[in-house]
Structure 1
Amino acid sequence: MIIGGVAAGMSAAARLRRLDGNAHITVIERSGNISFANCGLPYHVGGVIEQREALLLQSPQAIKARFDIDVFVGTEATAINREAHTVTVREVSTGATRELPYDKLVLAPGASPVHPPLPGIERALGLRNVEDVDAIVAAVPAARSAVVIGGGFIGVEMAENLVHRGLQVSLVEATAQVMAPLDPEMVAPVHAILRENGVDLRLGVAVTSIGEGEVTLADGSTLPGDLVIAAIGVKPESGLAKEAGLELNERGGIVVDETFHTSDPDVFAVGDAVVKRDALDGSATLVPLAQTANLQGRRVADVIAGRDVQDRPVLGTAIVGIFGLQVASTGWNEKRLVVAGRKHRIIHTHPAQHAGYYPGAQQMALKLLVDAETDEILGAQGVGPDGVDKRIDVIATAMTGGLAASDLAELELAYAPQFGSAKDPVNMLGFVAENLATGLSRNIQWHELAAAQEAGATLLDVRTPDEYEAGRIPGAVLLPVDELRDRIDELPEGELVVHCAVGIRAHIAAQILAAAGRPGVRNLDGGYKTWIAGTGQ
């Protein structure tokens, strides 16, 4: 028996049938639909996915006909009797209950939206299943304004799609930024594009109450909200497991071993509700992502069928689209590395997604985080209009394969001018990583610059005079890179930090200075563009 009929649950059911043609397989699903495209739900709200039926990937009847699997929708599992090997189920529409037997039980209940105990929270709509999206779609025509509470993946997707529907949209996030996996300088373009598209973005302030047509914030301000969406986050749907006495961790995740066994040998668990292993340090983590849920469903079926497989650790690779901007990440961010006290190097680049001479080239921002001692890739982030997805996917693949950051320089990647560059942005990250690892280059981060200047370092701007006049870092001295060889004598003694727009010309300048007897020059990583994004100036 499988409890939960979406990503992990239906993957387990279908895979198990392919491996065992004789097993009696039953799926219990509380909502009225199975195998629906929950990642597509916000886009139906916005009208991007016009037909509701496009979200419904399978029906109980089709699953029965093709796989001979019994699927009961609108049916809630209410209790597990582990000794008797039975599950009590209740028909949602009638309340009728019955007990069903199992030999092996798979829990795939997913995660549910967090609804904090705020006054009026009952008016806020969540987004977990097709019934939820139906409720939102039904409410939109009568609404002129909407407040989205929470700036995670679902929150920003809902904000965008409600803008597409013509609503006045406010997005409230209690922390200082949306998209927590991103570091501050990487999230700046996300904040900008939300505001450019009319979203009233409120950061660093919490919601205190929800009224009939407005939302009140902790700073005393109010926002118009005919429609309120709660996208604060999700929590494991582990109540059934808890009542059955199965082991949970402190955050409510179902604890499983590497073969998905819970604390009961005949009960397995997969998907968003289970505790996973972090790929970098092996720690327990909760990662509610569809790809991992689908893979775990497949793997638990393998285990039940007697195949020798194990769960894999997670990197947390994810991507979201926001008003045409691709925002992706994998592994750890800088904030987490700092908290963990792990020594690391940081690399920022701002390449075009394909050859600059080919029409349509657009700049993106990439950030690579590297172990300072081993050259291990610890994480990456990318933001840009195009090409971010494949670069983060390549880096996530490299991390899974155990490649070092310098090894990225050696990757043989497909190239034609409309798709990439002869030196792909991923290769360029590898070149920079190699230079840092071998000591050829030294860099300094945007948030370290002010302290270096206060300690006496001279900041040398090697851009052109026009660039300097258009915007400059306070205290910077202009000396264009093409004039540097002839004017080195003008430079003061002491530490030098060089910068250009994105870091390439500054690297050349640092090498010129080193050859002239000024070693130890540091390059402002990512240049003026990264400094602007990080400081907001």
Structure 2
Amino acid sequence: MKYLIVGGVAGGATAAARLRRNDESATIVLVERGPYISFANCGLPYHLSGAIAERERLLVTSEEAFVRRYAIEVKSRTEALAIDRAHKTVRLRDLASGNEYDESFDKLLLAPGAEPIRPPLPGLDGRGVFTLRSLPDLDRIMAFLQGEQPRRAVVVGGGFIGVEVAENLVERGVSTMLVEAGDQVLAPLDPEMAAVVQAHLRDRQVGLFLSDPIERIEQEGDLRVVHLRSGRRLAAELVVLAIGVRPEAALARAAGLTLGASGGIKVDAFLQTSDPAIYAVGDAIEVVHAISGKPALIALAGPANRQGRLAADNMVLGNTRRYRGSQGTAIVKVFDLAAASTGLNEKQLKLAGVPYHATITHGASHAGYYPGAMPLVLKLLYAPDGKILGAQAVGSDGVDKRIDVIATAMRAGLAVGELAELELAYAPPFGSAKDPVNVAGYVAGNVLDGTHEAIDWQTLYDLPRDEVQLVDVRTAEEYRLGTIAGARHIDVDTLRARLSELDRARPVVVFCQVGLRGYLAYRILKQHGFAQVRNLSGGYKTYALATQPVCAPAEPTVEPHDVPRIGRGGDQTVQTLDAVGLQCPGPVMKTYQAVSSLPPGGLLSVTASDPAFGRDIRAWAAKTGNAVLSVDAAQGLVTALIQKGGALAAPASGGVAVRDKTTLVVFSGELDRVMASLIIANGALAMGKPVSVFFTFWGLNVLRRAHPPVVTKSFMDRAFGAMMPRGAERLNTISSMNFAGLGARLIRKVMRDKRVDLPAKLLQDLVQGGAQLIACQMSMDVMGIRQEELIDGVTLGGVATFLGEAGESGTSLFI
């Protein structure tokens, strides 16, 4: 018997080895178009950063070792051109010599994998533009990185490969922007789960541009300029396309084999194609989804290897083993986070018309009282009858364990309520007595038995505020740090005494930080006669992450060498605070208490495990007048250095290093002054300088949206806002020759005639170029402007933020 295999990576190489173990006397020929067989393409991005330092470690085995061990004829650098089904031959071409010949077979296995998608757009084949699917692809990128030393990169595509490439380029020291045509990264996750990852990407200095497809790439000198549909222009030396993959089915199509609706090779349960002599496995085939029962494309290494083994058995022993489908269990590393999923997400369930419930729970990787506990958010999707339909998890530790447990439960047919009964390993360093999987099962069981009615963040976000009584049941301190617009505050511990403040005839939505206290409030209200009550699933933490804008450059972080020296000798003593294991807002609350006991100018170093702590502490410091001197993230921990009182300490000798940065303060709202500010800022960017623009008082009007969302305000704030221009396009005065407003119109006309960019375009160029646009929090409070009313790409700051930027600048201008 002669077996011919086309494709020598995951599924093909596994099948070849299994065929030999099944049949020692068979002739086995393995054909691979590339120069290598059985390499770890999932590990390719990690060589970019050096996390996998030696390229050879990506080779699972060499061709020589494979031939020696399995007595298989390997034809690498050989392309399969056509299949002659009638004569059972495959036309091959030796890519080194160009010679073509026919190879016969008794049974054929197709494992050609998938190919990267390269849409037919201008410039995608230019110099400095790459894909990453194979070792030769990796070699080309590495040669470019080592030879050209690029400072900036654009990664197109926010899937697993795109996110991994972005991470590893940043770890290599390349400033990276990530472009995604969809409205989120990591499509297997639902939006609120992806939001956790997106916030972390921004914290790690990745610029995110979502819902903005690429239209073309142009070469400008040594730069590649990526043009997006929105009009944004992203300049970089390196572009990596990670738009996605599609099945390599051309060979099968030309041979007349049946393809599925998805474009993959159609196979039966035995992985047999429409031709009984031909089998197919891996990324090229259309599988049955184990949960939905519908056809699907699932390009994952695990299923491909299992399929290769099973197909080899059926080819030798007859069709005795059935493939039970794939459920798409996958995980990805994103800096200090892991994001994993299994089964179906909400988008897929809605598309399929499958009824479902969804609940979100926040827990920790192990017992919170044991050092090193990391936050973990877990989402469960399940049918009204209790069938588990899918799960997603994001966190710094323990994500793989939880998703693997749930994936196993799904494969075993356990109901969601049975997750509560699983007996999982527990000791404080490894887990909790009530594991996050158990807790998710408890919550789902409560929903199914009617003792807990939940509402998701999207439904609440879309709900008119006058239709419900929205009640924040957290502490007063938490409420002051931020809440949902329109919410009233009633601490859950005082709720029983304040029931009279709520209208029993109107619907009530309660929420806390992560959902637990909200559930307690829900039970109190239901048992006191409130008929229409719902609890926000995942609490304020999920709502705030899911609704925050993300399409903006990342916030800057002060580098360690830019911070005043501290420690021994005559330098200032630093107090330390361990907030590891505390759930949000615990780290911020502990920080507030610790800072309160410091003398003015005192320093506090806080370490937390909440991935959002770096962002939260900046916002807290801006509101409280303290200064965040540095934020560092490593190994799942965030460490912030804070100085009480907002003013930076005087640097010790060799302390603050002055950078070649330009800082501008835009105080005026007059068109000509604003134009001057934006032109100078763009000029500084063009010269390669970092730029920060601090908008305060009337200058804030430049940042206002022309059509802002509805925001709850006092009468005075609304009146104040109505009298001021909304955005750069509506600035209506100039400093001289104003002529009752005609001066602004005249200068705009002259600028158009002379092809001078208008303020809105100049502002957009600053955002795309990576400038930091900072809105003064104090001025916003005075003028009644809310963050939701500002354009994307703006961060909030205070005096400490400005002084920190100015201290790093060679040029500071006040206009």
Common topology (TM > 0.5) = yes
Residue aligning to 1:71:
74
Partner of 2:211: 204
1:280 Cα deviation (Å)? 2.0
Instruction: Say which structure, 1 or 2, has more relative contact order (CA 8 Å, 6+ apart).
Output: 1
Identity %: 52
Task: Please name the residue that 1:113 is paired with.
Answer: 116
Please state how far the C-alpha of 1:408 moved relative to its aligned partner. 0.4
Q: Which among 166, 182, 196 is matched to residue 159 of structure 1?
A: 166
* Residue 412, structure 1, aligned to residue 451, structure 2: no
Aligned residues of 1:150 and 1:231 also touching (Cα < 8 A): yes
Contact 2:504/2:529 (<8 A) preserved? no
Match of 1:169 among 153, 158, 176: 176
Aligned to 1:423: 434
Secondary structure of 2:467's counterpart equals coil
Task: Say which SS state the counterpart of residue 27 (structure 2) adopts.
Answer: coil
Q: Are 2:231 and 1:192 aligned?
A: no
For the Cα contact (< 8 Å) 1:442–1:520, is it kept in 2?
Answer: no
- The reply on whether 1:86 has 2:89 as its aligned counterpart is yes
- Alignment match of 1:477 (pick from 458, 481, 488): 488
- Matches of 2:327 and 2:172, distance apart in 1: 34
Aligned counterparts of 1:517 and 1:174: Cα–Cα separation in 2: 48
- Which of 491, 495, 512 is equivalent to 2:502? 491
Q: How far did residue 152 of structure 1 move?
A: 0.6
Match of 1:271 in 2: 282
2:16 alignment partner in structure 1: 13
1:487 deviates by 2.5
Q: Give the Å deviation of 1:111.
A: 0.2
* Cα displacement (A) at 1:352: 0.8
Task: Name structure 1 gaps, 5 residues minimum.
Answer: none
Q: What is the rounded CA distance, in whole Å, between the counterparts of 2:461 and 2:353 in structure 1? A: 22
**In the alignment, residue 138 of structure 2 is paired with which amino acid?**
V
In the alignment, which residue of structure 2 is the partner of 1:456?
Answer: 467
Q: Which residue of 1 aligns with 2:257?
A: 246
Q: Look up the match of 2:361.
A: 349
Match of 2:125 among 122, 127, 130: 122
- Cα distance in 1 between the residues matched to 2:261 and 2:523: 52
Q: Deviations over 1:131-155 (max 9, x none)?
A: 1111111011202222111111101
Q: Give, in whole Å, the separation in 1 of the partners of 2:166 and 2:213.
A: 17
Task: Tell me if structure 1 keeps the 8 A contact 2:199–2:545.
Answer: no
Q: Is 1:56–2:59 an aligned residue pair?
A: yes
Residue 521 (structure 1) aligns with: 533
In the alignment, structure 1 residue 145 sits paired with structure 2 residue 152: yes
Alpha-carbon distance, 1:281 to partner: 2.2
Q: Say which SS state the counterpart of residue 12 (structure 1) adopts.
A: helix
The alignment status of 1:503 with 2:515, answered yes or no, reads: yes
Q: Does 1:396 align with 2:407?
A: yes
Show CA shifts across 1:455-504 (max 9, x none): 63212211111011111112212111111222323322222221111111
Deviations 1:168-200 (A, max 9, x none): 212111111111111111111211122222222
| C-alpha displacement of 1:517 | 2.8
Cα offset, 1:251, TM superposition: 3.4
Q: CA deviation at 1:452?
A: 4.9
Structure 1 distance, partners of 2:461, 2:249, is: 48
Give the RMSD, CA atoms, in angstroms. 1.4
Distance 1:450 1:323 in 2: 30
The letter for the 2-side match of 1:211 is E
1:323 to 335, 339, 343: 335
* AA at the equivalent of 2:175: Q
Asked if 1:337 is matched to 2:349, the reply is yes
Counterparts in 2 of 1:487 and 1:256: CA distance versus 1, 3 Å? same
Task: Return closer, same or farther for 1:451/1:187 CA change in 2, 3 Å cut-off.
Answer: closer
Aligned partners of 1:449, 1:251: CA distance in 2, in Å?
35
The SS at the match of 1:472 is coil
Following superposition, the deviation at residue 325 of structure 1 comes to 0.7
Q: Deviations over 1:54-96 (max 9, x none)?
A: 0011112111111111111111111111111111111111111
Change (3 A) 1:323 1:450: closer
Out of 321, 326, 336, which is 1:309 matched to?
Answer: 321
In the alignment, residue 154 of structure 2 is paired with which amino acid?
V
Counterpart in 2 of 1:29?
32
Is the Cα–Cα contact under 8 Å of residues 8 and 297 in structure 1 kept in the other structure? yes
SS at match of 1:121: coil
How far 1:451 moved relative to its partner? Answer: 5.2
Alignment of 1:359-374 (within 5 A): 359-372=371-384, 374=385
Q: Across the two proteins, how many residue pairs are aligned to each other?
A: 536
Q: What runs of 5+ residues in structure 2 fail to find an aligned partner?
A: 549-787, 789-815
Deviation of 1:445 (Å): 1.1
Q: Given the two structures, how large is their TM-score scaled by the length of structure 2? A: 0.65
CA contact (8 A) 2:262 2:286 kept: no
8 Å contact kept, 2:12–2:111: yes
Check whether the contact 1:332–1:380 (CA below 8 A) recurs between aligned residues: yes
Aligned to 1:438: 449
Q: Could you state the TM-score of these two structures normalised by the residue count of structure 1?
A: 0.97
- Partner Cα distance (2:207, 2:461) in 1: 31
**Kept in 1: contact 2:465–2:486 (CA 8 A):** no
Aligned residues of 2:504 and 2:531 also touching (Cα < 8 A): no
8 Å contact from structure 2 (residues 151, 175) kept in 1:
yes
Identify the range of structure 1 (242-251 vs 97-106) with the bigger mean alpha-carbon deviation.
Answer: 242-251
Q: Contact conserved, 1:60 with 1:70, CA < 8 A, in 2?
A: no
